[in-house]
Amino acid sequence: MTLQWAAVATFLYAEIGLILIFCLPFIPPQRWQKIFSFNVWGKIATFWNKAFLTIIILLIVLFLDAVREVRKYSSVHTIEKSSTSRPDAYEHTQMKLFRSQRNLYISGFSLFFWLVLRRLVTLITQLAKELSNKGVLKTQAENTNKAAKKFMEENEKLKRILKSHGKDEECVLEAENKKLVEDQEKLKTELRKTSDALSKAQNDVMEMKMQSERLSKEYDQLLKEHSELQ
């Protein structure tokens, strides 16, 4: 194996290792979000897109070169198989054909896993953000619910006080009671909006989980095919 293909094979093994680490079930998305938010990633973010595109271009060039080699030695393999003048040429061509096919698989899987790796990082980041938003919305809903219950209790207290006081204070208490009722309606409206937002966030989280599961299944299938091809 030449130096360039050894480097591509090492890159492929590194990709497989990273994808396996990202798919570990005991590491939550929030932990990956904290890791991705380190200052060092912000410093290299400006070069990330350029490096990503550069690696894709290199892998595509290597993949096309491997395809060309496979087609080349496939045709030569067919010609020399039917020829009996050079008995050693058939084995030599077959060896080169095997190497070119191996390089084709290495470069193809490296290109595919590179795209999968970027997509997996994006999905993990989005899932972590959705889970954080869900926690915030849940806390807001609980606080709004507690405030609504508190106003309802105060409303009941004012009603009892209103019954025990005379008519002179009745108008004042009714005004305060009316104000509390209006505040209660406002809180109920806010609670309804918060509940709708929480439901939407839960749906988004479920969708992200389904996408992550589909991606994991596709990865397992590709890894199995890769193992079979090796």
Chunked into runs of 10 residues, the chain (230 residues) has average pLDDT values of: 83 87 77 66 68 87 88 68 58 80 89 88 79 74 81 80 62 75 83 82 79 76 72
So what's the pLDDT on residue 54? 87
So what's the pLDDT on residue 77? 53
So what's the pLDDT on residue 24? 79
Contact 133, 201 (CB under 8 A): yes
**Which amino acid makes up residue 199?**
S
Residue 184 in domain: no
DSSP letter (8 states) at residue 147? H
Residue 223 in domain: no
Coil/strand/helix, residue 27:
coil
What the block records as the tokens of 80 is 């020399």
Residue 75 in domain: yes
So what's the pLDDT on residue 41? 60
Cα 140 to Cα 153, 215, 230: the distances in Å are 20, 33, 53
So what's the pLDDT on residue 188? 84
The C-alpha atoms of residue 25 and residue 213 are separated, in whole angstroms, by 11
Cα 198 to Cα 126, 128, 132, 195, 205: the distances in Å are 16, 15, 11, 5, 10
So what's the pLDDT on residue 124? 80
Q: Of 180, 200, 194, 181, nearest to 144 (Cα)?
A: 194
So what's the pLDDT on residue 170? 62
So what's the pLDDT on residue 201? 76
The total of structural domains in the chain comes to: 1
| Strand boundaries in the chain, DSSP class E | none
Residue 176 in domain: no
Residue 25 in domain: yes
Query: How many residues are there in the chain?
Result: 230
Residue 67 in domain: yes
So what's the pLDDT on residue 204? 77
Look up the pTM and report it. Answer: 0.54
Cα dihedral 206, 209, 215, 218, rounded to 10, equals -80
Residue 197 in domain: no
Residue 82 in domain: yes
Q: 106 φ, ψ to 5°?
A: -65, -50
Q: Of 183, 178, 175, 177, nearest to 144 (Cα)?
A: 183
So what's the pLDDT on residue 226? 66
Domain span at residue 44 reads 3-162
What is the torsional sign of CA 122, 123, 126, 128? negative
